[in-house]
């Protein structure tokens, strides 16, 4: 029996409708308009597409959007000055600096400069620490999107054996930390993280009830590496001559899996909508609204 296709494009629409209602109430009841600022340095085409998609989502939902485009030779000091201004701007509740940055700018310094209460990417060390402790203000967008996909698709995580392939600070580490939290809804799992140093990757992936793959390599996981009835969340987006593909071999694995996300249309749309959700959450926090 073919797998259930977990369509992030559809689930993200559900969350957008929920956010529209929440934003309308914030405006009418509290006169609060959530605001998101994005900073883009240079001419990277993929980054332009991502920032454009975020602007479009803001417009659709009624979130105030401010975009700052800077030349590739912008200095670190100039970038930090923009961040400092946004930290103090009461119209702005979320600050997003599009990564990657030019090599002459220290990414850690930039992340540290963002007010943790406006860090809607949840990359600041304060927010990373709160996530690990289980008391987050914000959850990082892609992992949060993954968690919502699991919850809203009725996938049981409580007691599940989860294997995460990839140890990045953006996906692998945070989703592992989220899924081990003592919470029966979307967590309370036993988690293994695999990476480039893992010996015999297949011996781990075959154990997984839920397999989350953020390896950064097209079709890195094949059907012989998973068990029947597995749930597969494919975070990868790889551009080949034949089109976009994920980090798993979708066509063969879907015949063995219980459920699987497609590429495109799986995790990708969830990342942007969870950024919007974090911006709304920040606006409520700044207004003292629980």
| Residues marked as catalytic | 54, 98, 121
**Whether residue 264 has a cis bond before it, omega within 30° of 0:** yes
H/E/C letters for each residue in 43-71? CCHHHHHHHHHHHHHHHHHCCEEEEEEEC
Closest to 178 (Cα-Cα) out of 169, 167, 186: 186
Order across the sheet with 64-70: list the strands: 64-70, 35-41, 94-97
* Whole-angstrom distance, CA of residue 182 vs CA of residue 184: 7
Give the CA distances from residue 58 to residues 49, 92, 94, in Å, rounded to whole numbers and listed in that order: 14, 13, 12
3-state secondary structure (DSSP) of residue 41: strand
Q: What are phi and psi of 193, to 5 degrees?
A: -105, 125
* Whole-angstrom distance, CA of residue 210 vs CA of residue 205: 9
Is 188 within 8 Å of 182 (Cβ atoms)?
Answer: yes
């Amino acid at each position: 029996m073919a797998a259930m296709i977990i369509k992030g494009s559809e689930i993200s629409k559900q969350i957008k409708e929920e956010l529209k209602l929440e934003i309308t109430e914030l405006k009418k009841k509290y006169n609060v308009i959530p605001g998101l600022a994005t900073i883009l340095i240079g001419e990277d085409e993929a980054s332009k597409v991502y920032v454009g998609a975020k602007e479009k989502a803001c417009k659709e939902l009624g979130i105030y959007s401010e975009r700052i485009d800077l030349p590739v030779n912008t200095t670190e000091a100039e970038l930090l000055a923009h961040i400092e201004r946004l930290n103090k701007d009461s119209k702005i509740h979320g600050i997003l600096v599009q990564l990657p940055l030019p090599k002459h700018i220290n990414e850690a310094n930039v992340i540290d400069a963002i007010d943790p209460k406006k860090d809607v990417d949840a990359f600041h060390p304060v927010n990373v620490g709160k996530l690990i402790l289980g008391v987050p203000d914000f959850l990082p967008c892609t992992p949060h999107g993954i968690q919502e996909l699991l919850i809203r698709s009725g996938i049981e995580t409580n007691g599940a054996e989860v294997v995460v392939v990839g140890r990045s600070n953006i996906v692998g580490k945070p989703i592992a930390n989220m899924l081990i939290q003592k919470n029966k809804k979307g967590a309370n799992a036993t988690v293994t993280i695999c990476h480039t140093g893992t010996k015999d990757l297949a011996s781990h992936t075959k154990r997984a009830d839920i397999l989350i793959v953020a390896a950064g390599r097209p079709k890195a996981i094949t059907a012989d590496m998973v068990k029947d009835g597995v749930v597969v969340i494919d975070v990868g987006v790889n551009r080949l001559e034949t089109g976009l593909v994920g980090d798993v071999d979708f066509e063969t694995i879907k015949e063995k899996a219980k459920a699987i996300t497609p590429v495109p249309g799986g995790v990708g749309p969830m990342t942007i909508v969870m950024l919007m959700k974090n911006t709304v959450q920040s606006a409520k926090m700044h207004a003292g609204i629980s």
